[in-house]
Structure 1
Amino acid sequence: MRQGRTLRLAAVTALAALAATACGGGDGGSDDDRPSASAGGGSAGTGLTLPSLKGEKLEVAAVWTGPEQANFTKVLKEFEKRTGATVTFVPAQDPIVNFLGTKIAGGSPPDVAMLPQVGAIRQAAAQKWLKPLGPEAKAQLAAHYGKGWQDLGAVDGTPYGVYFKAANKSLVWYNSAAFDNAGASEPKTWKDLISTAETISASGVTPVSVGGADGWTLTDWFENVYLSQAGPEKYDRLARHELKWTDPSVARALTTLAELFGKPSLLAGGTNGALQTEFPVSVTQTFTGGDQPNAAMVFEGDFSAVNIAATGAKIGTDAKVFPFPAVGGGPAPVVTGGDAAVALKDGKGAQALLTFLASPEAARIWAAEGGFLSPNKSLDKAAYPNDVQRTIATALIGAGDDFRFDMSDQMPQSFGGTPGKGEWKVLQDFLKNPKDVAGAQAALEAEAAKAYKD
């Protein structure tokens, strides 16, 4: 499927339930309630069988670090236990396609890699680096995934990728004590968001944390505003570069963003501070300091839960969440992303790991740890550690095939997925100078035209 997707939940009601659950007091995630990796659930009776791989050594490359790497390693340890293989996690640099290209040129590609962009799958397939899914992996995929997620891992009809990890990238997490002290409520529209930010600022707390040092967070800001304001048709056309970045719809979205980015007093650390703040810190600084944190709210996906938990804040009580607000009269947007496992080597080891990752058994292990969302429809929602994450997961699966994918992740990686270049760099420059909407548009179009031509 050439166009990725952005989760357009037929159930805005599910997201409303998300906010209601988050405000309901308990998070449903006490240690007593937390299911273990071996708990029963959707995996029962799936008939998953894996071959003996005793003596085989596999390498898996991913850009994950910190808690994500640690939790994925738990999944790999279970695979080792079931097969007898030895699996080594290989830390990869971003963009991972460049990292893999170097490994392949040196004759030492990993057996499996986790690709975080649809565009990266297409690029790797075009380079003939990828091995098609074997029959066992395809059977697991057919049994447990909707057609939309299957199509995202395919190129020209050939299935290569298993989307193991998904993300709802349209959530705003907030410090409930800071909101309560300011008398602030959850905003439903962009106009309300700016008003809420001003209210919180007047209470003595900086309202918004922005992880501008990581350009991908800025693409997510843009995509949510653009999808809601311009609509899905233009979103798809811009994603395919059938619509130029100089289009008036892009100007409207950037002008809307400037209503927030153009007020440094609303950003933790001001403009310079935002540009020096990496994503993990943007989250943790929102939930440390009690009712006087560095910021009262932070926009990003469900995976922020891991960073929130690291602060000791309790999701559902200390840390609550609301859907990204509607912009310009459009519906509230919901953008999804994901990481797909692909094989770069022939052999039963790589295919067995892809088969395992396509099963609910593998998804359940990480789900129990939090900060994870699976597109696997057979995963028992009880595997998630709290009601907030269960509601997010239910909404994702409930969307069926009616969704779209993160825009920047669909584009050539040189434009939409490279630190310090392309869209990431231009939007960082825009954060520095949000008055220059026309200049940002021109720069975006120049970078996009070059990337699509290449």
Structure 2
Amino acid sequence: MPRLSRRGLLRSVVAVTSASGAAACSGQDRAVRVAVVWSADELAQFRAVLRGFPGAPVRVTSTGEDIDAFLNARRLAGTSPDVAILPRPGLVTEYARRGWLAPVLPTATYRSPTGLTELLTYRGVGYGVWVKAAHKSLFWHLPSRLPERPDTWDALVGLTRRLGALAVRGAGPAPLAVGAADGWVLTDWLENVLADVTTPEEYDLLARGEADWRERPVQAALLRLADLWGTPGAFPGGGRRALLTQFQESVIQVVHQREAVMVFGADFARGVARAFGRDGEEPATFRFPAANAADEPPLLVGGDAAVAFTGSDRGVALVQWLTETASFAPWRQAGGYLSPDLSVPLREYADGPTGDLARELHAAASPRFDLSDRLPSPFTGTDGVGIWRIMQDFFADVTAGAPPAGAVNRTTALLAAAAQDTERGR
């Protein structure tokens, strides 16, 4: 059975489409070629955006989750696209180092959150621009099932224990759903806790591979997770079933099957919730809680960046056009699109919940970018390897009742070894 990814419920391995919805053979030679990881609704909305591009026609290829492998193969074949939308800033700097990319600049009015632009630079030159953001510090729930939302980490743990005890007796649903079959879900948990227990400087050192994964901040974060994930009755069917559950299914367990009360997930969970919700009840959200109610809760962001490949002036023109405020207006109006451009007025979000998330992004003093997406490719993780696999093994240990201290020590040793191997490989 094919695995679902965070990019959509129905993904084809390679789907070639025209931005106008019709690929005319006479126009393909002059079309701007774009490679994206998006599929399903995201791909359809991006097509609608590209209809407004005033230059050449645009032809879009949906590559599947592993866009890096796709682009490497195209490079070897001499058929690189003009533009790619990349889900990890580490790919931008890696391709720039190899000489694959042309420098690009956003329009004069474009303004991304503090620190994010620097992630797309190499030797002081910008090689990418953010075109889509993701808010990755949210818990989703149905208001009827969770009238009081936890505002601290300890409150979340206490709620999980109370609901877990009821679930063990068969007197209620499990407190949490988690799509642990998708390793990125578990790294998002870890990164939110790391954002709460580290300074921005400590967090950045880990992302750059300049800190030891065996030191106190990582151990403290993992101990927190072990305390929560090891709660009896925490997940529908227990930890073993959670490791077979993908992200979309975990959302469905909350909004449709009602097997769990809460699910942690990014803003794109709303599309799944809308598609599979029942009884007309809209899901609500609360922020990933900090240890202290007085502290600002962590705000983890992800994003997709547009790059242009060397030799393509049309690609550079398209990337810059994508940073104009009006370019993504069709997607903002349709809903489900969070702009990384802080100059976009909040009133332009027709979707109220997404507008609320945009307001949080605008107000955040120091949002942290998804740490695993910043790590070098062998460490960043894909299915069955890297940090994703290490976190899945940790989840399996603590949900099976392994002593937290031992599980944490094993996991930090594996993380440190993976970081060292990656550095030696580079």
TM range (shorter): 0.7 to 0.9
Is 1:245 matched up with 2:219?
no
Q: Work out which of the residue numbers 255, 280, 286 in structure 1 matches 2:223.
A: 255
State whether structure 2 residue 144 is matched by structure 1 residue 177.
yes
| Structure 2 CA distance for partners of 1:281 and 1:57, relative to 1, 3 Å | same
CA distance change for structure 1 residues 357 and 205 in 2, over 3 Å: closer, same or farther? Answer: same
Matched, 1:440 2:404: no
TM-score of the two chains, using structure 2 as the length reference: 0.84
Give SS of 2:99's match: coil
Return the alpha-carbon distance in structure 1 between the equivalents of residues 232 and 84 of structure 2. Answer: 39
1:61 matched to which residue of 2? 35
Separation in structure 1 between the aligned mates of residue 44 and residue 88 of structure 2, nearest angstrom: 21
Report how far residue 260 of structure 1 moved. Answer: 2.1
Q: Distance in 2 between matches of 1:442 and 1:198?
A: 29
CA-CA distance at 1:236 after TM superposition: 2.0
2:319 aligned with 1:354, yes or no?
yes
The Cα offsets for residues 236-291 of structure 1, whole Å up to 9 and x where unpaired, read as: 222222221111321221111011222352113321221112222222321114xx
Q: Which residue of 2 aligns with 1:163?
A: 130
Cross-structure match for 2:59: 88
SS of residue paired to 2:350: coil
Pair 1:360–1:314, CA change in 2 (3 A) = farther
The residue identity in structure 1 corresponding to 2:52 is E
Superposition pairs for residues 132-171 of structure 1, below 5 Å? 132-133=103-104, 138=105, 140=107, 142-146=108-112, 148-171=115-138
Deviation at 1:451, TM superposition (A): 1.2
Change in Cα spacing, 1:310 to 1:219, as seen in structure 2 (3 Å) is: same
Give the AA of the match of 2:118. D
The CA deviation at 1:89 is: 2.0
In the alignment, which residue of structure 2 is the partner of 1:116? 87
TM-aligned CA deviation for residue 356 of structure 1:
1.9
- How far residue 351 of structure 1 moved from its aligned partner, in angstroms, is 1.9
CA distance in 2, matches of 1:151, 1:248: 27
Check conservation: 2:102, 2:308, Cα contact below 8 A: yes
Whole-angstrom distance in 2 between the partners of 1:95 and 1:54: 25
Q: Distance in 2 between matches of 1:67 and 1:119?
A: 26
Q: Per-residue deviation at 1:376?
A: 1.4
Is 1:285 the equivalent of 2:230?
Answer: no
Aligned position for 1:363: 328
Report deviation, 1:331. 4.2
Distance 2:244 2:302 in 1: 24
Measure the CA separation in 1 of the matches of 2:350 and 2:247: 23
Flag the structure with more relative contact order, 1 or 2, with Cα contacts below 8 A and sequence separation at least 6. 1
Give the aligned residue type for 2:90. G
**Per-residue deviation, 1:418:** 2.5
Measure how far apart 1:363 and its partner are: 2.2
Structure 2 letter corresponding to 1:88: R
Offset at residue 55 of structure 1 (A): 6.8
Contact 2:28 2:59 in 1 (8 A): no
1:424 alignment partner in structure 2: 388
SS in 1 for 2:131: strand
Identify if the C-alpha distance between structure 1 residues 314 and 108 changes in structure 2 by more than 3 Å, giving closer, same or farther. farther
Q: Is the 8 A contact 1:240 1:411 kept in 2?
A: yes
Secondary structure in structure 2 of the residue aligned to 1:176: coil
1:303 pairs with one of 268, 279, 283? 268
CA deviation string 1:370-425 (max 9, x = no partner): 2221011232323323332212102212337x433111111102111432211011
Q: Is the 8 A contact 2:116 2:369 kept in 1?
A: no
More divergent stretch after superposition (385-394 vs 326-335): 326-335
Q: CA distance change for structure 1 residues 359 and 284 in 2, over 3 Å: closer, same or farther?
A: farther
**CA separation in 2, counterparts of 1:382 and 1:258?**
41
Unaligned runs of 5+ in 1: 1-52
TM-superposition CA deviations, 1:282-327 (whole Å, max 9, x none): 22321114xxx12211111122222222124699x63111010113
Write the letter of the residue equivalent to 2:179.
Answer: G
| Alpha-carbon distance between aligned partners in 2 of 1:63 and 1:264, rounded to the nearest angstrom | 37
The answer to whether the 8 A contact 1:364-1:379 is kept is: no
Question: Residue in 1 aligned with 2:9?
Answer: none
Task: Indicate the RMSD between aligned Cα atoms, in angstroms.
Answer: 2.3
Moved more, 338-347 or 321-330: 321-330
Which residues of structure 2 form unaligned runs of 5+? Answer: 1-26
One-letter code aligned to 1:200:
L
How many residue pairs end up in the alignment? 385
Q: 1:452 to 1:63 in 2, by over 3 A?
A: same
Aligned to 1:193: 156
Equivalent residue number for residue 14 of structure 1: none
Task: Tell me if 1:374 matches 2:342.
Answer: no
Q: Indicate if the aligned counterparts of 1:95 and 1:419 stay in contact, CA closer than 8 A.
A: no
Q: Name whichever of 429-438 and 381-390 sits farther off.
A: 381-390
Secondary structure in structure 2 of the residue aligned to 1:143? coil
Q: CA deviation at 1:345?
A: 4.4
CA contact (8 A) 2:140 2:265 kept: yes
Instruction: Give the residue type in structure 1 aligned to 2:200.
Output: P
Residue identity opposite 1:78 in structure 2: G
Task: Quote the sequence identity (%).
Answer: 36
Q: Evaluate the alpha carbon distance shift between residue 328 and residue 394 of structure 1 in structure 2; reply closer, same or farther with a 3 A threshold.
A: closer
Shift of 1:109: 1.2
2:47 paired residue number: 73
Contact 2:141 2:283 in 1 (8 A): yes
Alpha-carbon distance in 1 for matches of 2:389, 2:100? 28
Superimposed CA distance per residue, residues 31-84 of structure 1 (whole angstroms, 9 cap, x where no aligned partner): xxxxxxxxxxxxxxxxxxxxxx997212211222222222222212332xx33x
Name 2:172's counterpart in structure 1. 204
> Are the equivalent residues in 2 in contact too, given 1:367–1:384 (CA < 8 A)?
yes
Deviation at 1:221, TM superposition (A): 0.3
Q: Which residue of 2 aligns with 1:97?
A: 68
Inter-partner Cα distance in structure 2 for 1:307 and 1:385: 19
Are the structure 2 counterparts of residues 160 and 446 from structure 1 closer, same or farther at C-alpha, using a change threshold of 3 Å?
Answer: same
Inter-partner Cα distance in structure 2 for 1:159 and 1:364 = 25
1:226, CA displacement in angstroms?
1.5
